Amino acid sequence: MTSPRQAQFRKSACVRFMIYAAFTFIAASACAQDAETIRQYQFAPATDGYQIVMKEVPRPVAGDNEVLVRVRATSLNRRDLNILRNNPGGKFRYAGGVPLSDGAGEVIALGNGVTRFKIGDRVAGIFFEKWINGAPSEESLRTDRGRKAGGMLSEVIVTHEDGVVSIPEHLSYEEAATLPCAALTAWVGLFKRGRIEPGQYVLLEGTGGVSTFGLIFSNALGAKPIITSSRDYKLERTLKMGAIGTVNYRSNSDWHLKVKEISGGHGVDQVLDVGGRDTLAKALEILAYGGHIALIGGLSGYGSDLPTNAIMWINATASGVYVGSREDFEAMNAFISEYEIRPLIDRVFEFEEAPSAYEYMESGDFMGKIVIRL
């Protein structure tokens, strides 16, 4: 039995530990912001592509019209796994580059001429640093983060002030870090290209980042999301998140017919096709008259033939979607703020555990987004 004196001692020790932990966190944070060097992960050659290795590098300096951002959280996308395996010709052209396109943090320094932000502003990096608005250009599409120097898996990054956006006030850094790629892809596919309307049926394939954002967005708007997955426990969870119906595509090879049945025979008005070769034909078979399919991913591989007749005779449209512009990001953030939307985060890893975060994504045993906290 614990005596009152022992209980008081334990309470005092606990308080002392909490104070020490808080001081240590504040000191580490200040060190990352003010030190001459910072920590960041870089791509390094490996036997089967790349590995990520933590390095200590000089702290960047903001030039004209640039901002320094103390990154607080980053998130992974399927693309990040693909980059690790991508080494065409054995040239290791990404070696020394910084991983991850998605991240959020606070502005800690301003270069001359910066007008869009002030120190302390909470921001997220945009996926394409130079795709600001309108249609993309060849130049802007070459500025994607996560392969070269502009990656976010770094304690501090430097970027042009046009390359970041303010994040919704109600979101934490961890939540905001999930937005730049998966969320914006779902947004552009449904809202900008698909012009989704309340009451429409929406097919979402799987429970990864794009699909869960599609579920959250369409449910907020009052549309009718239908989810497919190979794991029943994930399907059960999506029902609690607002899905009107679910199908296990592994136990039901004719999953598309079940989806059409859920829609009352109407078919689906919107599709976020992330599956690629194995899903496209079946998704098109149940596309409703005047419907829209966003061609996004290739989880089962790319290269499917697009049956134009299937689209033409029902007056449907198909769009290739590769994320979006800063203007699109800001429009999405306005929607997120209006409906106080929160992303689905499966698990948060610490900075030192970044390689484990990649392994966790590789396992496929997750829903929504995987986050790394800095």
pLDDT tens digit sequence for 4-43: 444 443 444 443 433 334 444 444 444 556 679 999 999 9
At 297 the pLDDT is: 78
Query: What mean pLDDT is reported for the chain?
Result: 90
| Residues 52 and 41: beta-carbon distance below 8 Å | yes
Environment class of 234 (CB within 10 Å of its CB; exposed 0-12, middle 13-18, buried 19+): buried
pLDDT of residue 306: 67
Q: Are the beta carbons of 199 and 224 closer than 8 angstroms? A: yes
Give CATH for domain 183-320.
Answer: 3.40.50.720
The domain limits of the chain are 1-34, 35-178+343-373, 183-320
What does pTM read for this prediction? 0.89
CB 71 within 8 A of CB 103: yes
Q: Cα separation of 75 and 273, whole Å? A: 21
* CA dihedral sign, ordered 182, 153, 26, 346: positive
Dist CA 65 CA 114 (whole Å): 5
Neighbours of 133 (CB within 10 A): 11
* CB contact at 8 A, 344 and 41: no
As a whole number of angstroms, the distance between CA 265 and CA 37 comes to 61
List pLDDT tens digits, range 267-319.
999 999 998 777 888 999 999 999 999 999 755 445 556 667 778 889 999 99
The pair phi, psi for residue 274, each rounded to 5°, is: -100, -5
Q: Which tokens belong to 324?
A: 């979006």
pLDDT value, residue 91: 85
Which one, of 108, 105, 197, 117, lies nearest residue 154 by Cα?
105
Angle between helices 209-221 and 326-339 (to 10 degrees): 60
Q: Which CATH architecture has domain 35-178+343-373?
A: Alpha-Beta Complex (3.90)
Write out the two tokens for 307. 């049956």
Q: Which stretches of the chain score pLDDT less than 50?
A: 1-30, 300-301
